[in-house]
Chains A and B, each alone.
Chain A
Amino acid sequence: GEDVEQSLFLSVREGDSSVINCTYTDSSSTYLYWYKQEPGAGLQLLTYIFSNMDMKQDQRLTVLLNKKDKHLSLRIADTQTGDSAIYFCAESALNQAGTALIFGKGTTLSVSS
């Protein structure tokens, strides 16, 4: 079945770049997503990339997609303390009801000043 893997923790210093990596298994995924979750809150869509793209940049965020290796990464430039949160990678997958999201376990990003 579908599976999404992420490293569980990342610790960086304020001002550095953060790179969060993700691997997925469903090569038919049309879209791949990055969501951010702050403590006690829901998920905020950060960005997403269409499967026929290699890269997408949106302000401080850069998403790289290596479809051959099924590898997705999220780079946050000039990381700030407010970026501390859990980041979820997700792939779209077809289930019996239509299209669903399969989430990784989330990467906890800790930013120190």
Chain B
Amino acid sequence: GAVVSQHPSRVICKSGTSVKIECRSLDFQATTMFWYRQFPKQSLMLMATSNEGSKATYEQGVEKDKFLINHASLTLSTLTVTSAHPEDSSFYICSASYIDTQYFGPGTRLTVL
């Protein structure tokens, strides 16, 4: 139980385009989902907390107009990287909260050319 999926697993895009990443809780409902970013050989950096039906709460230094988060249902949150640039290339991981624990998706590798 408590499985979280992400789609796509890997995406390559041109600079200036927008990319949408989906995070789904497959066998449970998640009121709260989280989006993290991980640079190579580094820890996870929390970008934002997404609560179903309300606006996401962004961590300090994260541009909310660049990283659009939508949590329209209890099983789906999306992260859209708008006007992506090479410095946005990273590993993006989502998690969903279930009974005091966060369960993580497999991650999405974004490469911006």
Residues of A in contact with B (beta carbons under 8 Å apart): 30-31, 33, 35, 40-45, 48, 88, 92, 95-101, 103-106
A20 to chain B, nearest CB (A): 14
Taking a contact as CB atoms under 8 Å apart, the answer to whether A45 and B34 are in contact is no
Docked Cα-Cα span, A61 to B57, in Å, equals: 35
Of the residues A33, A40, A101, contact of B109 by C-beta under 8 Å: A40
Chain B residue total in the interface (Cβ 8 A):
25
Q: Is the CB of A41 within 8 A of B106?
A: yes
**Bound: A42/B32 CA distance, A:** 18
Q: Given A96-B57, A104-B43, A105-B43, A35 and B104 touching (CB < 8 A)?
A: yes
* Beta-carbon contact of A41 and B57 below 8 Å: no
Known contacts A43-B93, A97-B51; is A31 also within 8 Å of B46 by CB?
no
Q: Choose one: B46, B101, B107; the contact of A45 (CB below 8 Å).
A: B101
- When distances are taken between beta carbons in the complex, the residues of chain A under 8 Å from B87 are none
Q: For the complex formed, measure the closest distance between the CB of A58 and the CB atoms of chain B, giving whole angstroms.
A: 14
**Which residue of A has the minimal Cβ distance to B58?**
A97
A60 to chain B, nearest CB (A): 20
A20 and B43 CA atoms in complex are apart in Å by 16
Q: Which of B4, B46, B100, B102 has the most CB of A within 10 A?
A: B102
Main secondary structure of the interface of B (DSSP, over half): strand
Closest CB of chain B to A21's CB: distance in Å? Answer: 16
Q: Interface of B with A (CB < 8 Å)?
A: 4, 6, 32, 34, 42-44, 46, 48-49, 51, 57, 59, 93, 95, 97, 100-107, 109
28 residue pairs of the A-B complex, CB under 8 angstroms, read A30-B100, A31-B101, A33-B101, A35-B104, A40-B107, A41-B106, A42-B4, A42-B107, A43-B44, A43-B95, A44-B104, A45-B104, A88-B43, A88-B44, A92-B100, A95-B46, A95-B49, A95-B57, A96-B57, A98-B49, A98-B51, A99-B97, A100-B49, A101-B102, A103-B43, A103-B44, A105-B42, A105-B43
Indicate which residue in B6, B46, B57, B59 contacts A42 across the interface (CB closer than 8 Å): B6
B31's nearest neighbour on chain A, judged by CB, is: A98
Separation of A95 and B34 alpha carbons in the complex (Å): 12
